[in-house]
Structure 1
Amino acid sequence: MSIQVKAATVAEKADHQIEDSQASYVGSEICAGCHQAESKKWQGSHHDMAMRHAKPDAVKGDFDNVEFGFNNEINKFFRKGDAYWVNIKGADGKFSDYQIKYTFGVYPLQQYMVEFDDGRIQLIPYAWDDREASQGGQRWFHLYPEFTDSRDEFFWTNTGQNWNYMCADCHSTNVKKNFDLATNTYNTTFSEINVGCEACHGPASEHLNFVKNSEDKSQGFNRNLSKPVNQWVKRAGKNTLFPEEIVPTQQLLVCAQCHSRHVQISDNNHVDGNAFGERYMLSLINSNQYHADGQIYDEVFVFGSFVQSKMSQNGVACTNCHDPHSNELIIPKEALCLQCHTATTYAATSHHQHQENSEGAQCVNCHMPETTYMQVDERRDHAWHVPRSDLAEKLGTPDTCLNCHSEKDSSWSASLLKSWYPDSPTQSQEHFAPVFSAIDNGYLQASQALSHVAQNKANTPIIRASALERMSPLSDKNSLIAIARGARDPNEFVRLGAARGADSIALNERWRILAPLLKDKVLSVRVEAAYSLLLLWPQLTDEQKELMQPALDEYISVQEFNNDRGFSHNNIGTVYANQGLWEKAETAFKTSIRLEPNFAQAYVNLSETYRRSNQDEAKSIAVLNQGKNAAYNNAQIPYSLGLSYLRKGQTNDAIDNLKLATQRAPNNGQYHYVLGLMLEKVDVNEAQRSLSKAYQVSQNPRHLYALCDMQVKYAKNRAPKCIEQLSEVAPPEVVEQLKVQLSNANK
């Protein structure tokens, strides 16, 4: 059937009136009247084409009654008069006609959006490859072939492909989400459908008022978008130019509002406040989005990479390389780096070690390797890492050299780099990558090294912040000192990392360290500190609770700002659960499930709410069984369900669900460990296999100890070898105890 859409759901309201009391948006057409050169550059740019109405001047895809096969099913792309339509499978499993209302992006691919009656705008799963046919383009393709189940978050009608929350703030100007929780509908508005002049410069009405009476056409804006460095100078004995002076500007704050991986937490003006965290919660350098050495892994949109770089720390800004209006490079890429890096040194064979004018001789191919996202979109890493094949060989991080020399390995490239640059301090300098890798793989003994990374001012603030964030499972003296110092750091990201990393610190110390952050000048820091302390709410004094309440209220406000998403209500429920307000917690978790039936954590937390409030275990089991199907690929739900059945004495049901958990998360050692313990009374051999698997994937000595202990009881011939292996990772007294037990068992 054909879905009918409301044309007025998304209102394009460019306010052309000039208001004296408060700056308002006037629209890019007004700006173009005076700024013709800039406007001409902007027209047709990625910003201009970020989002457009689905009209011939915007649509790149072939809608000429084209059929595209996927999973042995036919999808159709066609037109009805001036409108563009698709016939694709919806959430009900049936093929229906949907009108394309908007285009999204322009090159190397273009996406398309459908608008529903409830105000939701969703991106269809098929995109148009706009590259040349000779490059494999000019075709339709499925963007997310792994997400074809309607229960997947990234199925096209679900939240992962929702424009109102996921995309709007960066692809349009002055977006107001306007979600109504009571009716579960949107009435999202924007001033301009695309990224217009005022998305970067701010509302222009005050500027118009000013230039009416002044020859100076630059006044009337609060933002300083200039470059931080006006003059670069040569220093004796150096082959790179240095800033004569760095005068902080707001350019990076403006670019980062879209070119970063973040969650929006408010509508506050982070630019005027000179604090990114006043409006956004930044993702730091974590293992889900970056490799251990800081190279990009998931799509992170530049900022997190850029602020790792020496260039960022030395005053280089986006417009040193990119024209802010056309988005193009200001000069050919071969010459960009040579603006500051002396050509006689860095454009020479003695430096790049490749044939002149070859691909290998270009700076970007070694220092800005590309990662392909969305199947065809190649994006360069903006951290300008120096290739470290030695780290790639040890840690499995990407080896830039192998992008071209794919037939080789990192042992080859590491040896070659060492021979080329025998005196290079970079190739031998201490790097945070081995420490991050160790912690990310559960080797918590690296805490002292992690503390050093966090406190080493030679590391950029985002790396120090990311080291602090990784201290979350640690509670030793090293992490305590590092977090305490990080909480007092002048950089907002370092303080944010300290707030995130304090989860395992004991109450008194955690309060002492984080309490000052409850009044931090940056919103993101205040709410992270409040959340960390919330976990200790039952232990806080009345005075401490009173001091904490304003920041906790802000934390709840941040969640309410995103009240169209399940995670926000789950977070609110967590606040109430920690405060023992069980009915409010239950309501919040149920709201989370209603909004996002595939959001697994809400089911787990609701079941825990029933358990902790001493309600019948059957209620926990019922909600977890509901979630097991809705979040069909989540492992935590069957794991929790297994524990619930165990508490009810239903051993077989418990084992079945724990097995399902290990199937859904085969690399989770804890799941295999608990399954092994439960199998002991049912099948000892299978129990040992589970415990062996637990240690194999986790390298947790506790898991190996459980296996050895079980073998002492039931498989005495295997126990000596297990105990010998345990002796390499466990305290001597623990090993000796097992040896005594085995000796007694053999008598």
Structure 2
Amino acid sequence: MTASAYAAEFSGSQTCVECHQQQYSDWQGSHHDMSMGEATSDIVLANFTDQQFDYQGEVSRFFMKGKEYWVNIKGPDGKFNDYKISYTFGYEPLQQYMVEFANGAIQLIPFAWDSRTKEQGGQRWFYLYPEMDPYDEFFWTNKGQNWNYMCADCHSTNVQKNYNDADNSFDSSWSEINVACEACHGPASEHIKWTKDQTQLLAQYGFKRDLTPKVGAWEFKQGKKILQPSKIKPSAQLATCGQCHSRRSQLTDSNNKAHSHIDNFYDKYILSNIEPNLYYPDGQIYDEVFVLGSFKQSKMHMAGVVCSDCHNPHSNKLTTPIESICFQCHIPSEYSAAKHSQHQQGSEAAQCVSCHMPKTTYMEVDPRADHSFKVPRPDLSITMGTPNVCSQCHSDKSATWAADAVAKQFPHSTIRQQPSYAKAFYQAATNNPNSDELLTKIALNPLQPTIIRASAFSRMDNFPSQQSYNAIESAVNDTDPQIRLSAIAGSEGFEFVDRWRLMAALLTDKAYAVRTEAASALVPYWGNMTPSQQQRLEPALTEYLQIQKYNADRGFAWLNSGNVYLAKRQFDKAEQAYKQAIVVEPTLASSYINLADLYRQLGKEQASIAVLKQGIINQPKAAALRYSAGLAYYRQQQLSQAIDYFKQATEVEPNDPQNWMVLGLAQEKVNPVEMMKSLTKAYDVSRDPQRLYTLCQFKIKYRDPSTHACLAQLSTLVPPQVIKQLTGG
């Protein structure tokens, strides 16, 4: 990597010191200042003095060569090799270390230094990602641990990724190695000009961003327990902080001047919704989501609170002690421990954050606070299994006990009386066919936070109906780009004619993310389009392909490009894109599956099978590759080979019912008894009545002795007419 000369507009934090000494002093030693650094003695915290770490019988070693830091760990070849540590990453409560390879790729090693004190259990090496094999995405030399793609944009200033797909290399650069002044304020050259000639009438003193708080004053109003906002104005602060403190995907970097203005977050990023793999149904954090998605659920966000109302943006510390931070707006007499929480005054349990900002520990030692500021709902824990802070502290008590205690303390709570979006999201996750009604109510409720409404719209894809269609029709005209984006996802269950009617206008949406996602959603229907529709799609589709070009260091980007070319029947381009996906990320199973499917469409069955076999070697953990190989042999009526690959799929992913189902269907002509066992397993792991229906069908067909028992079990799950239809009764 080259720490290149500053880009024309970037001036460096040293130019800020003379006029902003207090802010600079606050920033020094902060998480932003220490976000990344060159591996030198003044920043490396770990002990590299011939240290050994034994993990499951494999010994790694940390040592010095002169002033250089080195590690001896297992590489992608399965052998232990020496690697030089080039950079540090963060500093508390843990510090990570990175190796730079010859092609410019910077990778995070799987070991981290616990920088807490010994009394806290720290000052030790520990293994971050156990059970990682060289074909896992997050093995340390693979794409999941690549700094250039995964980390750079948030840990350094003015990062240019500069990926070259011709030789799969990086020439990444930055203005400053850490998160410095211009990472948040933007390029300072115009501001510096203004300081030398303040007669110039420059907006925001020469900066593009207004980072001041949204609310100019907070006022007491009679009858209110919380101060109310006044003098509300637009601010880019939340979007600026959120570009890094969020779970999002990146569309472009600072090279793209058309998307450098952070006021529109969706010109550069797509924020993740409240999705099942990231959040619990009630919006509590599950995976690492980095604050913004949680905060946007909160009443404080809806009232106009921004980060600097609680945090010093330069030191990253709270503006006042934790015991009093909430009392800036919440009237202390109304929220005292005796009146509100019933916990002992002055205790940790009495602090507001203990109940309203529960922490989840990630990376073994890093507790992160939930910024949705939710009211504890142990009643939801009973019905949905969501966590609640009451039971986390009172671990000897049940959720029912906690729910009763909360109800007793707050008998007139309006929170429990209101319909909860958690119910809608939980029901949708179970594929309840009536979910469209609940989702629509949440999606169209203007009192719900925008991110919750968006998450309801995005879940409508599995429940197409006239009701959900009408809701999505209103969403495409919403003023918030997150709602419009989610309308695209929610419309997936509809036919092309309906989707085009809903989304055509979004192809010229002012938000880069919206128009390109609309293009991505519509291009699979290219063959159904009229020439005028295709022409209307092309500009946004071209931009969508530019996003894939920016992300060309990842296999998914080449897959996306290949899918576009496939839809347009440009088979040569599709083939090359899928092949490049394999080159860039050889462990990505879907690359082989898509290429194999392309060969199948072209009548090249042997080439298709060869690609799948190559994929199985490079990604042995993907049952989908074996499943696809089984289908390929099944189409050729080579049942023995098909059954063998289907069996392999069940061994790799035994809890996938589809693997057992296709195995059973393939076994019918060879061994009906084994077929019954496989179909039984398909039902056992899914508990899906449709799979039990199929099993009963075959039991009837082969006059199996347990047919009556199968029908009896099915009759408890389906209407009587289904049984009559099945039995011919």
Relative to the length of structure 1, the TM-score reads: 0.94
Aligned length: 724
Q: Does 27-36 or 720-729 show the bigger shift?
A: 720-729
CA contact (8 A) 2:240 2:262 kept: no
Q: Which residue of 1 aligns with 2:155?
A: 171
Q: Does structure 1 residue 404 correspond to structure 2 residue 429?
A: no
Give a deviation string over 1:379-420, Cα, whole Å, max 9, x none: 011111111111111111112212212222212211221222
**Aligned partners of 2:655, 2:520: CA distance in 1, in Å?**
29
Q: 2:656 is matched with which residue?
A: 668
Tell whether 2:2 aligns with 1:10. yes
- Which residue of 10, 16, 22 maps to 1:25? 10
Q: Which one of the candidate residues 224, 235, 260 is aligned to 1:249?
A: 235
Alignment CA distance shift 1:660-1:419 (3 Å): farther
CA distance in 2, matches of 1:688, 1:394: 35
> Please, which moves more after superposition, 130-139 or 691-700?
691-700
Retained in 2: the 8 A contact 1:645–1:653? yes
Q: Over aligned residues, Cα RMSD in angstroms?
A: 1.8
Give, in whole Å, the separation in 1 of the partners of 2:535 and 2:719. 45
Asked if the contact 1:442/1:698 (under 8 Å) is kept, the reply is no
How far is the alpha carbon of 1:201 from its aligned partner? 0.4
Quick one: structure 1 residues 518 and 604, their matched pair in 2 at CA, closer, same or farther if it must change by over 3 Å? same
Q: Secondary structure at the match of 1:640?
A: helix
Contact 2:337/2:344 (CA < 8 Å) preserved in 1? no
Which residue does the alignment assign to 2:206? 220
Q: CA deviation at 1:293?
A: 1.1
Structure 1's consecutive aligned runs of 4 or more residues displaced over 6 angstroms after TM superposition are 215-218
After superposition, the Cα gap between the structure-2 partners of 1:410 and 1:228, relative to the gap in structure 1 and judged at 3 Å, is same
Structure 1: which amino acid aligns with 2:346? N
Q: Distance in 2 between matches of 1:220 and 1:388?
A: 47
Q: What secondary structure is seen at the aligned counterpart in 2 of 1:512?
A: helix
Instruction: Please give the alpha-carbon distance, in whole angstroms, between the structure 2 residues aligned to 1:682 and 1:443.
Output: 37
Change (3 A) 1:344 1:571: same
- Equivalent residue for 2:567? 578
Aligned to 1:352: 341
C-alpha separation between the residues in 1 aligned to 2:567 and 2:686? 30
Residue 537 of structure 1: aligned partner: 526
Conserved 8 A contact 1:270-1:276: no
Residue in 1 that maps onto 2:698: 710
Q: Cα distance, 1:645 vs. partner?
A: 1.4
Instruction: State the 1:509 CA deviation.
Output: 1.1
What SS class does the counterpart of residue 125 from structure 1 fall into?
A: strand
Greater mean alpha carbon deviation, residues 65-74 or residues 386-395: 65-74
Q: Identify if the C-alpha distance between structure 1 residues 135 and 715 changes in structure 2 by more than 3 Å, giving closer, same or farther.
A: farther
Pairing of 1:201-280 with structure 2 (within 5 A): 201-214=185-198, 219-267=205-253, 268=256, 272=261, 274-280=263-269
Aligned AA (1:63): F
- Tell me the residue number matched to 1:733: 721
Give the distance between the partners of 1:443 and 1:563, measured in 2 at CA. 38
Q: Residue 209 of structure 2 contacts residue 263 of structure 2 at CA under 8 Å; is this kept in 1?
A: no
Match of 1:152 in 2: 136
Matched, 1:449 2:438: yes
| 1:631 matched residue in structure 2 | 619
CA contact (8 A) 2:693 2:714 kept: yes
Asked if 2 retains the 8 angstrom alpha-carbon contact of 1:13 and 1:189, the reply is no
Mapped pair 1:100 → 2:85: yes
Give the one of 646, 658, 666 matched to 1:678: 666
CA distance, structure 1, for counterparts of residue 583 and residue 318 of structure 2: 46
Alignment-mate amino acid for residue 231 of structure 2: E
Deviations 1:433-469 (A, max 9, x none): 1221222233333222122221122221111111111
**Does the aligned pair in 2 maintain the 1:566–1:596 contact within 8 Å?**
yes
Give the match for residue 590 of structure 1: 579
1-side partners of 2:45 and 2:562: how far apart? 45
Say yes or no: does 1:547 pair with 2:536. Answer: yes
Cα distance, 1:594 vs structure 2: 0.6
Contact 1:254 1:271 in 2 (8 A): no
Q: CA deviation at 1:728?
A: 4.4
Q: Corresponding residue for 1:744?
A: none
Structure 2 counterpart SS, 1:298: coil
Q: Which amino acid aligns with 1:199?
A: A
Alignment of 1:310-709 (within 5 A): 310-613=299-602, 615-709=603-697
Asked if the contact 1:624–1:638 (Cα under 8 Å) also holds between the matched residues in 2, the reply is yes
Relative to structure 1, the CA distance from residue 452 to residue 691 in structure 2 (aligned partners, 3 Å threshold; closer, same or farther) is: farther
Alpha-carbon distance in structure 1 between the residues aligned to 2:92 and 2:392: 23
In structure 2, give the amino acid aligned to 1:633. K
Task: Return the offset for 1:142.
Answer: 0.9
| Alpha-carbon distance, 1:720 to partner | 3.2
* Superposed displacement of residue 238, structure 1: 1.8
The residue aligned with 2:69 is: 84
**CA offsets per residue over residues 303-344 of structure 1, 9 Å max, x none?**
111101111111000001110000011111111111111111
Structure 2 equivalent of residue 745 of structure 1 = none
CA deviations 1:604-630 (Å, max 9, x no partner) are 1111111122x2222111111111221
Q: Percent identity?
A: 48
Match of 1:42 in 2: 27
1:636 and 1:441, CA in 2 relative to 1: closer, same or farther beyond 3 A?
Answer: farther
- Decide whether aligned partners of structure 1 residues 273 and 321 sit closer, same or farther in structure 2, where only a CA change above 3 A counts: closer
Q: For 1:531-579, what per-residue CA distance to the aligned partner results, in whole angstroms no more than 9, with x for missing partners?
A: 1111211111111111111111111111011111111000000111111
Counterpart code for 2:435: A
The one-letter amino acid of 2:149's match is Y
CA distance in 1, matches of 2:400, 2:703: 42
The Cα of 1:716 is off from its aligned counterpart by: 4.8
Name the CA distance, whole Å, in 1 between partners of 2:434 and 2:723.
Answer: 19
- The CA deviation at 1:165 is 0.8
**Cα 1:423–1:688, aligned 2, differ >3 Å: closer, same or farther?**
farther
User: How much has 1:603 moved relative to structure 2?
Assistant: 0.8
Paired AA for residue 708 in structure 2: P
Q: For residues 630-689 of structure 1, give each alpha carbon's deviation from its aligned partner in whole angstroms, at most 9, with x where no partner exists.
A: 122122211211111111112122222223323333333322222232233334344333
User: Residue 54 of structure 1 aligns with which residue?
Assistant: 39
Tell me the SS of whatever aligns to 1:501: helix
Deviation at 1:475, TM superposition (A): 2.2
Question: Are 1:161 and 2:161 an aligned pair?
Answer: no
Which sits farther off after the overlay, 721-730 or 565-574? 721-730
Once the 2 structures are TM-superposed, how far is the Cα of residue 732 of structure 1 from its aligned partner?
Answer: 4.0
Cα deviation code 1:61-95 (max 9, x no counterpart): 00112111122122111112211111112111222
Structure 1 residue 717: Cα displacement: 4.3
Provide the secondary structure at the position in 1 that maps to 2:563: helix
Q: Distance in 2 between matches of 1:424 and 1:389?
A: 14
| Cα distance in 2, alignment partners of residues 642 and 293 from structure 1 | 40
Match of 1:72 in 2: 57
Q: For the residues of structure 2 that align with 1:215 and 1:352, how far apart are their CA atoms?
A: 55
Contact 1:12–1:189, Cα closer than 8 Å, also in 2 = yes
Which sections of structure 1, spanning at least 5 residues, go unmatched? 1-8, 16-22, 742-747
Instruction: Give yes or no for contact 2:76–2:134 (8 Å, CA) kept in 1.
Output: yes
Deviates more, 1:693-702 or 1:527-536: 693-702
What is residue 19 of structure 1 aligned with on the other side?
none
